[in-house]
Amino acid sequence: MSYDGITQRVSDRYARAAATGEQICCPTGYNFDDLKTFIPEQVLKISYGCGTPAGLETVRSGETVLDIGSGGGIDCFEASRQVGQTGLVIGIDMTDTMLDIARRHAPVVARNLGYPSSNVEFRKGMAEAMPVEDSSVDLIISNCVINLAPDKCKVFREMYRVLRPGGRFTISDIVSDQPVPQYLVHDTEKWGNCLSGALQVSEYMGGMVVAGFLGIHQVKFTPWQVIDGLHFLSVTLTGYKLSETAEVDRVRFATLLGPFSRVMDELGQIYQRGKSRPVNAHAAPLLKASPFQSLFLLTDSPVSLEASDSRLCAILPEQVPCVWKGDYAIFTGPFAEAEDDDHHIFRRGIPLEICSKTLKVLESDPYRPHFAMINRATGEGSSTQVACSPSGGCC
Whether residue 271 is contained in a domain is answered as yes
Query: What is the domain range of residue 343?
Result: 322-386
Whether a cis peptide bond, with omega within 30° of 0, leads into 116 is no
Q: At 212, which CATH number?
A: 3.40.50.150
pLDDT for residue 115: 97
**C-alpha radius of gyration, the chain, whole number:** 22
Angstrom distance (rounded) from CA 93 to CA 124: 5
169 lies in the same domain as 147: yes
Please state the rounded mean pLDDT for residues 28-51.
81
pLDDT for residue 335: 96
Q: How many helices (H) and strands (E) does the chain have?
A: 11, 20
Helix (H, G, I), strand (E, B) or coil at 198: coil
Helix, strand, coil tally for the chain in percent (to 5): 30, 30, 45
Please state the rounded mean pLDDT for residues 305-325.
92
Angstrom distance (rounded) from CA 62 to CA 363: 38
Q: Which of 26-30, 203-207, 303-307 has the lowest mean pLDDT?
A: 26-30
Query: Is 259 a residue whose pLDDT tops 70?
Result: yes
DSSP assignment, residue 383? -
pLDDT tens, residue by residue, 96-149: 999 999 999 999 999 999 999 999 999 999 999 999 999 999 999 999 889 888
136 lies in the same domain as 66: yes
pLDDT for residue 183: 86
Angstrom distance (rounded) from CA 4 to CA 274: 52
Q: pLDDT averaged over the chain?
A: 87
281 lies in the same domain as 375: no
236 lies in the same domain as 257: no
- Half-sphere exposure of 53 toward its Cβ, with a 13 Å CA cutoff? 27
Number of domains in the chain: 3
- Is 336 in contact with 266 (CB distance < 8 Å)? yes
pLDDT for residue 390: 44
* Domain's final residue, options 240, 275, 290: 240
Whether residue 392 is contained in a domain is answered as no
- Is 30 in contact with 56 (CB distance < 8 Å)? no
Angstrom distance (rounded) from CA 138 to CA 164: 6
Q: At 275, which CATH number?
A: 3.40.5.100
Please state the rounded mean pLDDT for residues 254-267.
95
Strands 351-353 and 327-331: antiparallel
263 lies in the same domain as 329: no
211 lies in the same domain as 358: no
262 lies in the same domain as 292: yes
pLDDT for residue 392: 45
pLDDT for residue 243: 82
Query: Is 255 a residue whose pLDDT tops 70?
Result: yes
Q: What is the pTM of this model?
A: 0.88
